[in-house]
Amino acid sequence: DGGITQSPKYLFRKEGQNVTLSCEQNLNHDAMYWYRQDPGQGLRLIYYSQIVNDFQKGDIAEGYSVSREKKESFPLTVTSAQKNPTAFYLCATGTEQTSEAFFGQGTRLTVV
């Protein structure tokens, strides 16, 4: 089944622990993105990657890290340095040709 798979859908962690969110795609898209969504704030870009082994910081990269070792995968690590990590995280992919983003179903992270 083609698309973007984010796992898990719900994730609970204790404060001070690092946690990694998975994003896998089989659309053969070059670009991948991580957005954070908070109520009333829309979507804010955390990191993006337009090619394997390369990525750039978005608007709110502090406290997050990523890797892009394979075209299909773009995991996001939420580190203990992120002051307010509880949020809904969305992974997206895209291509230059379509100029639109395709979204996964999201991971809701709750840090207690």
Partner 1 sequence: AQSVTQLGSHVSVSEGALVLLRCNYSSSVPPYLFWYVQYPNQGLQLLLKYTSAATLVKGINGFEAEFKKSETSFHLTKPSAHMSDAAEYFCAVSGPAGNKLTFGTGTQLKVEL
- Chain residues binding partner 1 by CB under 8 A are 4, 6, 9, 31, 33, 35, 40-45, 48, 50, 88, 90, 92, 94-96, 98-106, 108
With beta carbons less than 8 A apart as the criterion, state whether 20 and 29 touch.
no
Least Å distance, CB 16 to partner 1, is 26
Least Å distance, CB 6 to partner 1, is 8
Kindly tell me which of 80 and 95 has the beta carbon lying closer to partner 1: 95
Kindly tell me which of 8 and 18 has the beta carbon lying closer to partner 1: 8
Pairing of strands 54-57, 43-51: antiparallel
